[in-house]
Chains A and B, each alone.
Chain A
Amino acid sequence: MENSGSIFDRALIALDHIDRRIIYLFVLFSLTIPLVKGIKLDPAPFETANSFFETIATFDKSKGKIALIASDWGPNTKAENQAQMEVAIEHLMREKIPFALTSLSVFSKPFLEKIPNKIANRLNEEGGPYTWKYGVDWVNIGYRPNGSIMIQSLAKSKDLKKFWIADAKSTPLKNIKMLEDVRTIKDIGLLLEFTGSVGAFDAWVEYFSVDGYKPKFLHGCTSITIPEARTYMASGQLDGLHEGLAGSAYYEKLLSNSYPDREIGQAWKMNTGLAFAQAIIICFILLGNTRIILNSISNLIGNSLKIFTTDND
């Protein structure tokens, strides 16, 4: 029965019984080929990423003002959060904005060390007149337990150096040059928070402020939490947003426009692979729905013909 009919009919029947593993293979190849070939499609523009970029570019660089990066992610959201944090750190470094890194997630510890070092090495290799150094351009405060209670205490602290005491390598913060003039939360001009956890993000929104002062807030979220993060953007609680991998790919483009000599990072390439895979998924969705619609039409025609022939009889 299945072998009868035109090639078109047989193709439709084959489509009905397509093995899910064939679809997986299509997705796998569509993701892999752009990465291997190094294909780069232009990323879609994001208003939220533009705001993120503008906020860093217009940061008040007066003495004693720093940015604080809360890296509340681990290997489970590395795919999106790492790319976001890399481009943001690169921008901070290029703008020569000193920053401190901390985390509410213990699994983020290795990234607090690795990412700024990697970016600083890359920038230093570009051979410009400026050399980025630990302690001058950034400091790694490390993992701090106790979540929201820690954030509250940090916000209320009268002396951040006494609160943090030492960096991740137990170097006393009084010996860190970039923190010389840093005293309270009011010296933190910018908070950048990267996470896939809505809870961690909420904790910073809820508790990182004191009466009459709240630093500018930038956020990097995973794709799943975009709809929730957008609410904060609309209400003005956020000054900029990185939306998943696509957001960081567009940020790479913004950075490349401002610094044409920079090397293109991973986010742009990975986003191209993502675009190909999503195109394949959309094709399969359309194909599946077309098949269902065609089936319904042919059933409808078949039923009408049956009624017609029965009436004639």
Chain B
Amino acid sequence: MTETKTSKFITISLFGALILMSLLSLGYFSSQPISRQLKGWEIFIGGIATLAIYSFLVKENPVYRFFEHLYIGIATGITVVLGFKTFLWPKFFKPLLGFSVQTFPDGSIYQPYNNYILLYLLPMCLGLLYYCILTKRYAWLAQIAIGFSLGASGGLAFKGFFNQVIPQLVDSFKSFHISFADLSSISLYPFKLPAPVFQAFSNFVFMTVLLSSFFYFFFTFKREEGGVVERFSTTGRWMMMGCFGAFFGTTIMARMSLLVERIQFFIDEWVPTVFSGVIS
């Protein structure tokens, strides 16, 4: 019962504060030029949405849920609009319907109508076959479009794989050779190591981590319990645990960065904008 009362109190307070601030800001912004009004509202709504989403940390509440649904709705809507506005219209409909026959401010035409553009209709029809998946009778037609996409993606991925992974694969072959041609030293407080020794040690650690991690995923033969292979793969598991820890640490850092940016926004933009309205 007390819990429900507290929840209601939080909700009413949040809604009350929201309405009060909206009214005060409305009064202030309406006296400003239109560009400043829009900017003011943009900052005001941005702040309110941030506060509403963060209110989840106190307790789940209707204000949070409202803004969560609002966000999902806007994100869905904007994806559809942007898909049309930034791709379908400029890349397909605009040239096809002849709207891209444009002149630059200097009077030159940069793209006259090209009849070959009508060939765009062929891939479009092929793409539309995807929608056949919605009918039982013609679902097989969708396979043509899917097959085409898979083939194209596979070809692209093949080229990409070589550019992306081969240099890393080559770099994985590290040398343990210690060359004393380089006489510089690296300070590892409180020790000082000759650079080649440090490099060889670093390469040794790298190869141990790499091979032990590989061994963990090596399931093609039976491992003896307590055997060398088993122990080596356990080492790999520990190495991966360390790696996951590093991933988790960087994730926390990224989340904190998001929060610090929002706080910066409140300090630099939201508070001065909203309170200029409240004070005036």
Could you list which residues of chain A lie within 8 angstroms of chain B, going by C-beta atoms? 21, 24, 27-28, 31-32, 35-36, 78-80, 106, 143, 145-146, 148-149, 152, 165-166, 170-172, 175, 202-203, 205-207, 209, 222-227, 231-232, 234-237, 244-246, 266, 269-270, 273-274, 277-278, 281
Contacts and interface: CB of A to CB of B under 8 A. Distances in A.
B88 to A, nearest CB: 10
27 contacts: A27-B259, A28-B259, A31-B256, A31-B260, A35-B264, A35-B267, A165-B110, A166-B110, A172-B104, A172-B110, A205-B163, A207-B163, A222-B257, A223-B253, A223-B254, A223-B257, A224-B250, A231-B168, A232-B168, A234-B171, A235-B171, A237-B164, A245-B253, A270-B257, A270-B264, A273-B263, A278-B253
Nearest to A243: B250
B252 interface: yes
A237 B260 contact: no
Contact of A205 (B91, B111, B164, B264): B164
B261 interface: yes
Contacts of A165: 110-111
A273 B254 contact: no
A222 to B, nearest CB: 5
A78 B261 contact: yes
B264 A266 contact: yes
Contact of A21 (B58, B105, B254): B58
Contacts of B253: 223, 244-246, 274, 278
Contact of B251 (A203, A224, A266, A281): A224
A21 B57 contact: yes
B171 A106 contact: no
| Secondary structure type dominating chain A contacts | helix
A79 B167 contact: no
B98 interface: no
A149 B170 CA distance: 27
B258 A79 contact: yes
Given A80-B257, A224-B251, A206 B263 contact: no
Contacts of B260: 31, 35, 79, 245, 270, 273-274, 277
Interface residues of B, number: 41
Interface string B30-63: 0000000000000000000000000001100000
Interface in B126-180: 156, 159-161, 163-164, 167-168, 170-171
A199 B216 CA distance: 27
Interface of B: 57-58, 82, 86-87, 91, 102, 104-106, 108, 110-111, 156, 159-161, 163-164, 167-168, 170-171, 243, 246-247, 250-254, 256-264, 267
A35 B246 contact: no
Contacts of B87: 145-146
Contact of B250 (A24, A231, A244, A266): A244
Contacts of B262: 79
B106 A172 contact: yes
A78 B261 CA distance: 8
Given A165-B111, A235-B168, 20 more contacts: A35-B260, A35-B263, A35-B264, A79-B258, A106-B86, A145-B91, A165-B110, A171-B105, A202-B160, A205-B164, A209-B163, A225-B250, A227-B243, A234-B171, A235-B171, A244-B250, A246-B253, A270-B257, A277-B259, A281-B256
Nearest to A79: B261
A246 B250 CA distance: 11
B160 A206 contact: yes
Contacts of B247: 224, 227
Contacts of B252: 278, 281
Given A24-B57, A172-B104, A207 B86 contact: no
B218 to A, nearest CB: 21
